[in-house]
Structure 1
Amino acid sequence: MNLYSIDTGFFKLDGGAMFGVVPKSLWQRTNPADANNLCTWATRLLLIEQGSRLTLVDTGLGDKQDDKFFSHYYLHGNDTLDGSLKKHGFHRDDITDVILTHLHFDHCGGAIIREGDLLSPAFKNAEFWSNEKHWDWAVNPNPREKASFLKENILPISESGQLKFIDENNPVYDSDIFMRFANGHTEAMMLPQMKYKDKTILYMADLLPSVGHIPIPYVMGYDVRPLVTMQERQDYWKEIVDNEYILFLEHDAEHECCTLQYTEKGIRLKDTFKLSDI
């Protein structure tokens, strides 16, 4: 197995929304905001090369929305999905599988492209993996998440015939990768876990957006069940430290990977490093 970090650029979100009830005086120490209270976040994906299978985890925001939509998120940076794939010797048509941790627009927007009036999969040779519970949640959105579940990002996947579901009762993707689940941020968010160079890598999606979110109460205002998120984090964090997992960070603007440790203040950051350093 080979793993590659795929950078697709940066965007901005309100710092208060990203840290919920935590005061700005605390969260700005790790995630400083600009004059508009916006913090910078990455859209960092993971590419898994394993035999003839080339799997991309999440797809970033994509570029098919209109200027008004993107004006809210201040996309910036020089990295693109195609450019990052090319840097590692790949093309989007080489992708055989796309795992969508969940269907919020910043995680699945790049799954679909717009060509004129036609919406079609951006990865024409790939199967797209979700799970039935989350798919049903996303296509029948609640008012809180409706603005994050955009039909143009979701329905064309099903209409293409390329949609597949992971069985939550037997969430094995292949011999070295299986799905973990979290239900606080959104229903049945998937966290791919894999063995790599005798290490365990856990893709954190929105359970841990950045190293600034490590303290248990630092829960995003976007989470639909914040108390569930806190319990999930408490359980996962203990497992992560006890088993020395490496965490892959999708949204941290500076850090690709991290480890955790026990401290007098609870579980906190141990180390940060690049995926290529493993």
Structure 2
Amino acid sequence: MKVALVTGASSGIGESTAVELQKAGYTVYAAARRVRRMEGLAARGIRTLLMDVTDDESMAGGVGKIIAETGRIDLLVNNAGYGSYGAVEDVPLDEARYQFEVNVFGLARLIQLVAPHMRAAGSGRIVNISSIGGRIYEPLGAWYHSTKFAVEGLSDSVRLELKPFGIDVVVVQPGGIKTEWGGIAVGNLEKTSGGGAYEGQVRQLAGFHAQMGRASEPKVIADVVVKAARARRPRTRYAAGFGAKPMLFARGVLPDRAFDAMFLGLMRRFG
């Protein structure tokens, strides 16, 4: 039976992914800081781990536990991450650094930890949950988008590094998904830049993100992860969820200034 490690599994995409992978026959280790939030997963027979992706000892200990208990890790789903919004002028650099620690360096460290075991086995798959935000951009989200652009570039390079060892690296790019992410992002946005020079943009962007009431359920992304995990020859990228494919198409065909105008127009409409 194949073994999977899913980070950020206490809610949303990570929780749903853990469930769907178990249904697909994997022995699943669900990892998160909030272990009590994973009691439902534990009740299903999913193995839960306390893991903080900003703490090296926590990550190394979690991977070591899985290897000790099963002798293998066949699938790593790097899902842990969050969005912290605000104008670059307003966001403290400590907050920006922390967002990189969670969204990029934690992901990279787990790749470092699992790759030797996959390489020894001659097979494995790493699925990095990025975002359409790794290909598009918006005002007041510079630090978040920077982390996801980094995930995209890191994944491309690592894919080439690990391919000779039988290890596939896949990127999943969610669009609008019904998770805690939106509330956290908008809350940080309003706290950081809501009362200053960017107040008008904050109001417009918050209105735009409020459209996430039309967002897709987390299972949409969980199903894509399972598809990517089980495919004989997976794609390098999968995009899914509300608005994902139209936004990526627009970014691909429109010049920068035309995309700028389109996005600002959407913000004015919803703001």
* TMscore range, shorter length: 0.3 to 0.5
